[in-house]
């Protein structure tokens, strides 16, 4: 379906109003009036775009200010702002591929951090045998902080099993966790034991929970300096500076929306019955269903959810997304249908 306005908690289809439980605007920032005011003010200060290289002789102070502040937030040494999360992932993979030839990926890893020559991390449920031998080598392991069909963060306990002779670079995609998972929404990057790995890299889009169209790469200073020297970065136009300003100025608003979201998640957790047809956790704003009929069932009740074919999955994803903007009335209607086992 094609619509003519951005969907919030409701969506207009051919003149009729439906409840909308889809998308990725978990904190509801995209349609938040106060957030839009900050964004408009930032646009007036920094302009609608900055079509210049970050290495130009004229540099905008907001880039350094944002990157230092974001690094403190996620407890990383350094950060680089990139125009999108997808590009941040591809840029990171391409750079690492110049020196490292062996890549592994967690099941269903997002294409942004998936090397074309990557090998599955697990074979028949067991860690790949090549990771257990004593052959010394540099390797890259890619994983999403939370998979597109899961409700809990990825476990990295498998790192304990890998041979100590492997020099591990770990790439974590925080696009669906940043802003909502971890302390103050900082994700899981800092919670992963650094003693098991040589280098830890976080990439993420800010276009989901945080409502801004750009991406980041966070890691140690040496790695970020390497990226800044790449011709790809030098020749690229910079990330929109107004988005960086908005992120910095919206911190109190992000916290307020996180609190609203958690109240909604707690309400769902209290009132939603257990059912094998769906999975839910009160710390994450998505209900997943393994029943493909749920889309049509909810549509008949004037509720629209996300249903699409994901590149790294065989079937359709049925995502029921709860946002900070949903009302208890919205949630009650959804829960009533789910608790009745999708019966009309």
265-275 tens-digit pLDDT: 999 999 999 87
Q: Which residues pair with 202 in a beta bridge?
A: 172, 218
| Region 251-260 average pLDDT | 98
Residue 19 domain flag: yes
- Pairwise pLDDT comparison (171 vs 289), residue with the higher score: 171
Alpha helices of the chain — where are they, by DSSP H?
33-46, 61-74, 85-97, 221-229, 231-234, 241-249, 251-271, 294-300, 328-339
| Region 176-196 average pLDDT | 93
Looking at the fold, whether 61 and 109 belong to one and the same domain comes out as yes
| Region 103-121 average pLDDT | 94
* pLDDT at 259 (0 to 100): 98
Looking at the fold, whether 192 and 301 belong to one and the same domain comes out as no
Looking at the fold, whether 26 and 175 belong to one and the same domain comes out as no
Question: What's the domain range around 265?
Answer: 10-33+252-339
- Strand 119-120, strand 102-105: pairing: parallel
- Do 130 and 108 contact (CB within 8 A), yes or no? no
Per the structure, the count of domains in the chain is 2
- Do 82 and 69 contact (CB within 8 A), yes or no? no
- Do 154 and 148 contact (CB within 8 A), yes or no? no
Express each pLDDT in 228-240 by its tens digit. 999 988 888 889 9
Q: Inform me whether the pLDDT recorded for 309 exceeds 90.
A: no
Looking at the fold, whether 168 and 198 belong to one and the same domain comes out as yes
Of 185, 209, 239, the last residue of a domain is 239
- Do 193 and 164 contact (CB within 8 A), yes or no? no
Q: For residue 344, name the pLDDT band (cuts at 50, 70, 90).
A: very low
Q: Inform me whether the pLDDT recorded for 342 exceeds 90.
A: no
Looking at the fold, whether 334 and 279 belong to one and the same domain comes out as yes
* pLDDT at 281 (0 to 100): 92
| Region 194-198 average pLDDT | 91
Percentages helix, strand, coil for the chain (3-state, rounded to 5) are 35, 20, 40
Looking at the fold, whether 210 and 83 belong to one and the same domain comes out as yes
* pLDDT at 341 (0 to 100): 62
Looking at the fold, whether 181 and 326 belong to one and the same domain comes out as no
Provide the token pair at 122.
């697990």
pTM for this predicted structure: 0.93
Looking at the fold, whether 211 and 71 belong to one and the same domain comes out as yes
Ranking 35-49, 199-213, 222-236, 311-325 by mean pLDDT, the lowest is 311-325
Express each pLDDT in 70-94 by its tens digit. 999 999 999 999 999 999 999 999 9
Looking at the fold, whether 128 and 15 belong to one and the same domain comes out as no
Cα Rg, the chain, nearest whole Å: 21
User: Of 33-37, 189-193, 285-289, which one has max mean pLDDT?
Assistant: 33-37
* pLDDT at 343 (0 to 100): 47
Looking at the fold, whether 202 and 166 belong to one and the same domain comes out as yes
Looking at the fold, whether 88 and 206 belong to one and the same domain comes out as yes
Looking at the fold, whether 295 and 212 belong to one and the same domain comes out as no
Of 205, 239, 273, the last residue of a domain is 239
Of 173, 207, 239, the last residue of a domain is 239
Residue 181 domain flag: yes
| Region 180-199 average pLDDT | 93
């Amino acid at each position: 379906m094609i619509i003519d306005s951005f969907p919030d908690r409701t969506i207009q289809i051919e003149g009729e109003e439906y409840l909308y439980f889809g998308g990725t605007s978990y904190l509801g920032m995209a349609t938040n009036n106060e957030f839009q005011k900050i964004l408009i003010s930032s646009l007036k200060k920094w302009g609608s775009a900055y079509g210049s290289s970050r290495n130009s002789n004229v540099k905008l102070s907001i880039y350094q200010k944002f990157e230092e502040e974001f690094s403190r937030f996620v407890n990383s040494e350094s950060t680089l702002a990139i125009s999108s999360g997808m590009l941040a992932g591809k840029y990171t993979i391409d750079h690492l591929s110049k020196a490292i030839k062996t890549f592994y990926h967690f099941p269903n890893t997002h294409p942004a951090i998936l090397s074309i020559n990557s090998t599955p991390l697990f074979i028949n449920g067991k860690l790949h045998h090549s990771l257990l031998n004593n052959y010394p080598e540099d390797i890259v392991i890619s994983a999403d902080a939370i998979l597109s069909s899961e409700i809990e963060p990825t476990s990295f306990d498998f790192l304990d099993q890998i041979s100590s002779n492997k020099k591990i670079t770990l790439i974590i995609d925080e696009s669906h966790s940043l802003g909502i998972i971890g302390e103050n929404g900082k994700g899981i990057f800092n919670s992963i034991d650094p003693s098991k790995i040589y280098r830890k890299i976080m990439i993420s889009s800010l276009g989901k929970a945080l409502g801004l169209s750009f991406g980041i790469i966070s890691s140690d200073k040496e790695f970020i300096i390497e990226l800044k020297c790449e011709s790809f970065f030098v020749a690229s136009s910079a990330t929109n500076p107004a988005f960086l300003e908005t992120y910095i100025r919206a911190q109190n608003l992000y916290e307020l929306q996180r609190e609203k979201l958690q109240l909604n998640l707690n309400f769902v957790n209290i009132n939603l019955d257990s059912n094998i047809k769906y999975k839910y956790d009160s710390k994450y704003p998505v209900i997943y269903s393994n029943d493909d009929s749920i889309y049509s069932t909810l549509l008949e009740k004037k509720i629209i959810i996300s249903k699409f074919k994901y590149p790294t999955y065989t079937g359709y994803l049925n995502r029921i997304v709860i946002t900070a903007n949903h009302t208890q009335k919205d949630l009650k209607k959804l829960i009533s249908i789910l608790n009745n086992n999708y019966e009309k």
